[in-house]
Amino acid sequence: MTLLPEDAVRWERLTAPELHNLAERDALVVLPVASLEQHGPHLPVWTDSLIGHACCLMAARKASAARPVVVLPPMWTGMSEHHLPFGGTITLDYAAFRAVLTCICRSLKAQGFKRLFLVNSHGGNIDPLAVAARELGVEFAMPVVAATVFHVAGEKLGALLDTQPGVMHACEAETSFWLHLDPGQVRQEAVANALSGPPTSVPGPFSRFWSFAERAPGTGVMGDPRAATAEKGARLLEVVSDALAEAMGNTGLWQVPAAVWAPR
């Protein structure tokens, strides 16, 4: 059987011997790290998982011409407790989040894989994932790199949007991704009434817990989904996947971390 190009980078569509071969070829493993949480009245709770997985798959196909890359199924739950007031949300705490990532790293290393790219698509995962990646790299003596899909493309992403400088939540950008990838899942009749009221709190430079009931009261949406189009979604996917593919080939990122805990 000959794999189709779109299947050759998908972990779940490969056999154990095929994955063993990829480990022997020092394939880069990519884990989309996402969430299962409310995305307003018009988008499914699977939004972050869909977007992150799609970006990783396209990037892996672009990068695999030069080096082997394989993409795990998305880690579909992350740290989303701030979305619980709106329902539809399943969340981990940090201990569980870190434990899942630890088990994934341990499993990969046991099979001979040596590099892991954690590609995040949920805002609440940014800080904990950054800490976990640094710790796991040292713990397993392997490069573990974390990045967020909405940050890797920099200003190129914001230049594609009309109403906001970057990705927010259930917004122009995320709705555009859905309209490109699976338009039937967008509840078009709810888009016009999806805007939230003004925030009742502004985090500013201070760290504390801010619920989305405070940050996006009413609907849980940040941004304006009315400006979304399928064409924007296609362009967003292109620029994000280009940036991720470039990172996959950046040898400076994939050096083994210094063994800082080893005796001098």
257, part of any domain: no
Q: For residue 152, what is the domain's CATH number?
A: 3.40.50.10310
43, part of any domain: yes
pLDDT of residue 264: 77
6, part of any domain: no
Query: Residue 119 and residue 81: Cα distance in Å, rounded?
Result: 20
99, part of any domain: yes
128, part of any domain: yes
pLDDT of residue 6: 73
Signed CA dihedral, 241, 247, 249, 254: sign only = negative
Domain total of the chain: 1
Quick check: 47 and 87 in contact, CB under 8 A?
no
Chain Cα centroid distance, residue 70: 15
pLDDT of residue 4: 58
pLDDT of residue 51: 98
Closest CA to 42 of 191, 243, 219: 191
pLDDT of residue 133: 98
Query: Residue 147 and residue 118: Cα distance in Å, rounded?
Result: 6
pLDDT of residue 238: 98
Query: Residue 39 and residue 138: Cα distance in Å, rounded?
Result: 35
Query: Residue 104 and residue 43: Cα distance in Å, rounded?
Result: 29
Query: Residue 170 and residue 184: Cα distance in Å, rounded?
Result: 16
- What phi and psi values does residue 36 have, to the nearest 5 degrees? -130, 100
pLDDT of residue 200: 85
264, part of any domain: no
H-helix or E-strand containing 109? helix 94-110
Domain that holds residue 122: 11-251
Burial label for 98, CB within 10 Å (0-12, 13-18, 19+), is middle
124 CB neighbour count, 10 Å cutoff: 20
pLDDT of residue 7: 83
Tens digit of pLDDT for each residue in 191-247? 999 999 988 876 678 888 889 999 999 999 999 999 999 999 999 999 999 999 999
What is this structure's pTM?
0.95
> What does the chain come to in residues?
264
CA distances from 112 to 11, 109, 197 (A): 15, 5, 51
In single-letter form, the type of residue at position 38 comes to Q
pLDDT of residue 203: 67
Planar angle of CA 121, 115, 30, nearest 5 degrees = 30
2, part of any domain: no
Q: In what order do the strands lie in the sheet with 116-120?
A: 69-71, 28-33, 116-120, 144-148
Question: Greatest CA separation found in the chain?
Answer: 64
65, part of any domain: yes
Mean pLDDT by 10 residues, the chain (264 residues): 73 97 98 98 98 98 96 98 97 98 98 98 97 97 97 93 95 98 98 92 80 93 97 98 97 94 86
